[in-house]
Every structure is written in C-alpha cells, then in structure tokens.
Amino acid sequence: MRQIAILGATGSIGGSTLDVIAQHPDRFRASVLTAHRNVAALAELCARHQPQLAIIADPALEAELARRLAAAGVRCDVASGMDAIAAAAAGSLCDTVVAAIVGAAGLDSSLAAARAGKRLLLANKESIVMAGPLLLEALRVGGGELIPVDSEHNAIFQCLPGGRPDLAKSGVRRLLLTASGGPFRGRTRAQLSDVTPDQACKHPKWSMGRKISVDSATLMNKGLEVIEAHHLFSAPVEAIEVLVHPQSMVHSLVEYVDGSVLAQLGNPDMRTALAHALAWPERVSSGVAPLDLAAAEPLHFEPPDLATFRCLALAFQALREGGDAPAILNAANEVAVEAFLAGALPFLSIADVVESVLTELPAQAVVDIQTLGERDRAARTAARRVLRNAC
C-alpha cells in the first residue's frame, strides 16, 4: 500500500487526490496532510481520512489545529511550519509525495522529497520552473522518480515511450502543449483593459485556486508549463509549441519524425492524471466519466495570441535566456498577480511588471538553492518597486 503525503491538501489538487485515494483504500493511504492556513478545512479532511500527521504551515495556528482535531476525536500528530512540511516530505511516513503547494513556497518540500528518493507527483510547477537543474539533480542523487500531474505534462508522459526518454533517440520532433485559452480567449487588449479579479478567476473548464486561475487568464500558466516541459523531458525550446484548444479534451500531443502524432484525450478532470500518477505503471479507476467523442463538441485548435497575452511570450523569452531567468519570471509574476488580485494593478500590467524585472535582472547561472533564494527575493523586491513607481 502506498503511503501518500499531500502537500496542499485543502486545494483543488489535494481534493482531487483525496477523492482518488478514497476510491482505492486497499492501495493508497493519505498518511500526511498539510495546509497553508485553512485550519477548519484541514481538520475536516483529517477527520475523514485519518492521516498519521497533520501540518499547518502557519505556526500561529498549530494550537487551533490541535484543538479542532482533539474535539473531533482525531488521533494524529500535529506540527507546523514550512520546515516541518519539508521534513515530512522526506520522512518515513510516506513513500509518495503529491507536491501541490502553490508558488515558490513549495520548492523546499519538493526538493526534500526528491533527495529522499520518494515518488514525487509534481503539481507545483514553480519548483521545476525556478530550480529545474537542482530538482533533477536531487532526483538523480536520491534515486526517486518524478511523475508530472499537470494534465499537459502527464499527457506527454503517457505519449512518450518509457515516460521520460531521450527525445532525440526516441524520434520525437515536437511537444505540443494544449491551452484552453482561459476566460479571455479571443479578446483584444482593449477589451481586457478593465478586467476584474473575479472575471479572471472564472475559468471556462477548470476549477482552480485564484492565483493559478489568473495565470491561466494571462497564459502565464502555459508559459510556466513550457519551461516545465523543457526540464521534465529535456526538450529544447524550439521543440516545444503551444496550441490553444478551448474544449480541453486533448491534453497534449507528441509529434514524431515519421509524421505520427500521439495525443492523450480525456474529460477535463484532474483525477485522471492523478490516478495515472498514483498507480503508475498500472492503471486504476479515477472516478472520471468516460469520454464520449460522439457526443462531444468539435475539436478546435489555434495558435496563441502572443501580442495580447504577452506573459506566454515572456516565458519563452526567459527559457531562451536560460540560467535563473525562469525563477526571476516566476517571482515577478507572483508579486504582480498578488497585486492584481488585491485590486492594486490592472490585468494587462501584470506582463509589464514581469518584463521590467526580467530587464532589470539579467539571467545568472543556477548555482545552488541559497543563491537562487537570494535572486528570488531580489526579483520580488524589484517587482514591488515597479509597482510602487507605477502607482
């Protein structure tokens, strides 16, 4: 039986993972559950799934979590802080880690799981965007395995022989990442000048947290996925393309040199990718309804509008620059999105902030996690300065 730590259990990925686990109590157990600050939701999940350890990231809330668990009659250890989450990811209570903490905050725990030789189900794309070479080296040293659970990368994983082979030797010509286009597909820049946070968070196909929903609306999420695909599959930037596919049924495609194109299809539900990653190389039921192609709407594909959705173009630019440019991109974007959600930055200015920070901080080599952390903080400081100057 696999013992699974779910880092970010109260989010959408965490909920989908727990749903799959609950369908297979003979195969999987949720042994560790963590949350950022949502004590009530974490306590409720603990009462339902009975983990051995519950961790709240905010130490000020540990006593409240312990009180709620005791009142509910839940017997499990309680801890708090990001260091405790990283320790649990590397610890003996789990052999599998679902890394679903949003943003740069999930990096340390993803690295800890990799170094400890765990099966790492990576939903925290920022970890590999920021520190791709360091994460892959940690996996190599630790002897663990990484299985992507972003629907696009999981689709590519399924369409490649052996999951993550040498692409050149496997006859792969291109990786084609599909994008829904978000809630604003087809709109012009003029039509996006007064977009509100609530409008940006209304994704047409997926139910996600607010930060990732905004990233989907700007297409930055797809840009981060391009960078992730580069690291996951050792694909050069010129071999990665994005196709807008609003039906979200084709999750990604792999084109081979003989003209064959393999695609992974399914209803837009993260439980499919999670069930695949949890059971790999076997297959188990995910609880997702079968795809009825005869009843489905026609499938449509189009190139992305890089002039309107500039964040995707900036992600390609950062990948071409190399080094820590993707980390700079990610940090600046997190600050800009936070400002947009707070009503302090127009939607279209998110890309302007990111571009300014990339210009101010030219790429440097990725040396170690300490240096990367310093550069991440420098990028956030620069982004906040850009915001202040813009107000």
Domains of the chain: 2-148 (3.40.50.720), 155-269 (no CATH), 322-390 (1.10.1740.10)
At 283, the pLDDT band (50, 70, 90 cuts) reads very high
Mean pLDDT of 150-178: 89
**37 carries a ligand binding annotation:** yes
Q: In whole angstroms, give the CA distance from residue 328 to residue 321.
A: 11
- In 10 A of CB 179, how many CB atoms? 25
**216 carries a ligand binding annotation:** yes
**151 carries a ligand binding annotation:** yes
By the 8 A CB rule, do 35 and 10 touch? yes
Task: Give the per-residue pLDDT at 97.
Answer: 98
The DSSP output letter for 72 is T
- In 10 A of CB 161, how many CB atoms? 13
Task: Give the per-residue pLDDT at 191.
Answer: 93
Closest CA to 218 of 240, 243, 248, 197: 197
Mean pLDDT of 47-70: 97
Residue 213 burial by Cβ neighbours in a 10 Å radius (0-12, 13-18, 19+) = buried
- Predicted confidence (pLDDT) at residue 224 exceeds the cutoff of 90: yes
Task: Give the per-residue pLDDT at 37.
Answer: 94
**205 carries a ligand binding annotation:** no
**222 carries a ligand binding annotation:** yes
At 391, the pLDDT band (50, 70, 90 cuts) reads low
**152 carries a ligand binding annotation:** yes
Q: In whole angstroms, give the CA distance from residue 52 to residue 5.
A: 10
**124 carries a ligand binding annotation:** yes
Compute the mean pLDDT over every residue in the chain, rounded to the nearest whole number: 94
**13 carries a ligand binding annotation:** yes
**225 carries a ligand binding annotation:** yes
Mean pLDDT of 203-227: 88
Its sign, for the CA torsion 378, 384, 385, 386, is: positive
**150 carries a ligand binding annotation:** yes
Please tell me the pTM assigned to this model. 0.92
**169 carries a ligand binding annotation:** no
**245 carries a ligand binding annotation:** no
**110 carries a ligand binding annotation:** no
Mean pLDDT of 342-361: 97
- Predicted confidence (pLDDT) at residue 7 exceeds the cutoff of 90: yes
At 161, the pLDDT band (50, 70, 90 cuts) reads confident
**16 carries a ligand binding annotation:** no
Task: Give the per-residue pLDDT at 375.
Answer: 95
Task: Give the per-residue pLDDT at 105.
Answer: 85
Q: What percentage of the chain reaches a pLDDT higher than 90?
A: 87
Mean pLDDT of 87-92: 98
Mean pLDDT of 310-318: 98
**10 carries a ligand binding annotation:** yes
Mean pLDDT of 255-273: 96
Closest CA to 8 of 17, 217, 369: 17
